[in-house]
Structure 1
Amino acid sequence: MIAAIAQLLFCQLIGEALNRGAGIPLPGPVLGMFLLFVWLKIRPAERVELKAVATWLIGHFAVLFVPATMGLIDEGPALARDGIAILVACVGATLLTIAVTALVFRWVSDRDETAA
Structure 2
Amino acid sequence: MIAAIALLLFCQLLGEALNRGLGVPLPGPVLGMFLLFAWLKLRPGERVELKAVATWLIGHFAVLFVPATMGLIDEGPALARDGVGIVVACVVATLLTIAVTAFVFRWVSARDEIAA
TM-score interval w.r.t. the shorter chain?
over 0.9
Quote the residue 2:40 is aligned against.
Answer: 40
TM-score with structure 1 setting the length? 0.95
How does 1:101-116 map onto structure 2 within 5 Å? 101-116=101-116
* CA–CA separation in structure 2 for the residues paired with 1:82 and 1:23: 30
1:20 corresponding residue in structure 2: 20
Whether the 8 Å contact between 1:40 and 1:46 is mirrored in structure 2 is no
> Which blocks of at least 5 consecutive residues in structure 2 are unaligned?
none
Q: How does 1:10-89 map to 2 (within 5 A)?
A: 10-45=10-45, 47-89=47-89
1:94 is matched with which residue? 94
Q: Which runs of 4+ in 1 moved over 3 A?
A: none
C-alpha distance after superposition, 1:13-53 (max 9, x if no partner): 00111111111111111111111111112223461110000
Amino acid at match of 2:6: A
- TM (normalized to structure 2)? 0.95
- Corresponding letter in the other structure for 1:4: A
1:34 partner letter: F
How big is the alpha-carbon RMSD for the aligned residues of Structure 1 and Structure 2?
1.1
Identity within the alignment, %: 88
Distance of 1:111 and 1:46 partners within structure 2: 23
